[in-house]
Structure 1
C-alpha cells in the first residue's frame, strides 16, 4: 500500500508504541508541548516532536522538511488561509495554525488534529486524496483540483493520492 510515516510527541511515545513499530504519527503542531513548554517556532516543535526522527531533512525557525511533507508555522503567529499557497502536485492544509504541505504519495498517520481549517488539493487533476477514520474507513475524499474548509477531527490518517 505505501510507506507509513509518523511523527510522535515524546509524551505520546508510550501510547503510540505499537504505532511506532509500524511507522510514526504526524502530529498537529500545538502552541505548547504536553509538559507545558511554550512552543514559538517550528524549530522548537522539531526539538519536541521530531527529536531523533530519521526522516527530517532540514529545519529552520519556521519550517521543518521531511521526505514528502513540509510543515510551516508563521514566526510571529498562526498561518491563515491567505498563507495557503499550494504548489502544483501538492495537497496542503492548515491544522491548528500550521501549514501541512504533502507531496509524496504514501499513507500518513496523524494525531491531535482538531478544529476546522482550509485545504487545497492542487495535485494532478482527478487525483483523489483520502482522509480516514480511526477504524481505517474513508471519512471523506477530495478530488483535485479542490479547495475549501475541512473539519479535521476525527481524522486519523490520510493518503494524498
Structure 2
C-alpha cells in the first residue's frame, strides 16, 4: 500500500476553502472575454478554481500567489522524443503519456488547484520537473473533504508515464 499523508489541519482548512470556491469569480473570466480575448475552457477553469488569478496573455495566467500557469493545447504541441522540452525553472505537465496531449506548465512556488469540471482534474499522465535541482513539488487529490497527498517530484525529475495514483491529481504545490 503506498504511503499517504494529509496536510496539517490549518493548511488543509485553507486549501479546502479554496476548493469550495471552484466556481471562483466568473466576473474575472468574463472581464478577460470582454477585453477581447476568449480563454480556452481549461484556462478559464484554472482561473475559476484559483480566485484572484489574472490573464497575462491568450494562454497564460498568474495566480494570486504568484504562480504562473501556461496552457498549450495538444493541437499546438508536438513531441518528437522523450523527454519533451521544458524551460528551466518550470514544472511541465502533460495529459498524455510521454509528453503527449495538452500541456500545462507551472512556474514559481505556490499551491495550484488544477481541478474542476473542465480543468486538469485527473488528467496528469506524464511530467518533466525542470525546476531548480532539489526543488520539491507535491501532488494532491481532493477527496471531497480534504487534500490527500499522492506523491512528490524532486527536480530534476521526469516521468513519461506517471504511476496510476498520480492520475487523480487535482492540485499541486509547486516548489
- Give the TM-score normalised by the residue count of structure 2: 0.57
Which residue is equivalent to 1:103?
Answer: 107
Per the alignment, do residues 110 and 128 of structure 1 end up closer, same or farther by CA in structure 2, a change over 3 Å counting?
same
Which has more strand, going by share of residues?
A: 1
Q: Structure 1: state its 5+ residue gaps.
A: 5-15, 25-41
Number of residue pairs aligned between Structure 1 and Structure 2:
125
Alpha-carbon distance between aligned partners in 1 of 2:56 and 2:107, rounded to the nearest angstrom: 14
Which residue is equivalent to 2:125?
Answer: 117
CA RMSD in angstroms comes to 3.5
Per the alignment, do residues 115 and 81 of structure 1 end up closer, same or farther by CA in structure 2, a change over 3 Å counting?
farther
Q: Structure 2: state its 5+ residue gaps.
A: 1-10, 26-37, 63-67
Q: CA deviation at 1:65?
A: 0.7
Which protein shows a greater Rg? Answer: 2
Which has more helix, going by share of residues?
A: 2
Q: 1:1-150 residue pairs with structure 2 within 5 A?
A: 18-20=20-22, 43-45=39-41, 49=45, 55-59=54-58, 64-67=59-62, 68-75=68-75, 80=79, 82=81, 84-95=84-95, 97-111=101-115, 112-114=120-122, 117-134=125-142, 135-148=146-159, 149-150=161-162
- Give the TM-score normalised by the residue count of structure 1: 0.61
